[in-house]
């Protein structure tokens, strides 16, 4: 196996780890491409995702594939804010009906 495919596989795996962590932190469905569908997340999963994203370990893992932990944390916070806004809009829509 060439080094190119090994590197691509590692990058994909690390990206999947961060994708799941961001989704659990933001409480959105991680099975959808857009990551914008609100869902209920076990509080333990949410806490573990937050602990991972804000840990030195996340910075280390991200650096393995030329990502930055700070970028992943910003992405998690932005995704969470968007999901919270979407949830609030759904609540208002339900109460108006």
User: pLDDT digit string (tens) for 31-90?
Assistant: 755 555 666 677 788 899 999 999 999 999 999 888 899 999 999 999 889 888 888 888
Q: Domain of 69?
A: 3-96
Q: How many domains does the chain have?
A: 1
- Average pLDDT of span 3-21: 88
pLDDT of residue 76: 92
Among the listed residues 15, 13, 35, the one whose alpha carbon sits nearest the alpha carbon of residue 23: 35
pTM of this prediction exceeds 0.75: yes
pLDDT of residue 84: 85
List, as own/partner pairs, every contact residues 3-8 make where C-beta atoms lie below 8 angstroms and the sequence separation is at least 24, other chains included: 7/65
The answer, yes or no, to whether residue 25 has pLDDT greater than 70, is yes
57: number of CA atoms within 13 Å, CB side?
Answer: 10
């Amino acid at each position: 196996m060439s080094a190119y495919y090994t590197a691509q596989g590692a990058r994909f795996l690390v990206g999947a780890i961060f994708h799941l962590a961001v989704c659990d932190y933001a409480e959105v469905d991680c099975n959808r491409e857009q990551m914008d569908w609100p869902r209920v997340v076990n509080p333990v999963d949410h806490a573990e995702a937050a602990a991972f994203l804000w840990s030195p370990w996340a910075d280390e893992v991200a650096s393995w594939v030329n990502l930055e932990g700070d970028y992943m944390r910003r992405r998690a916070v932005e995704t969470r804010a968007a999901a919270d806004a979407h949830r609030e809009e759904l609540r208002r829509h339900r109460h108006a009906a």
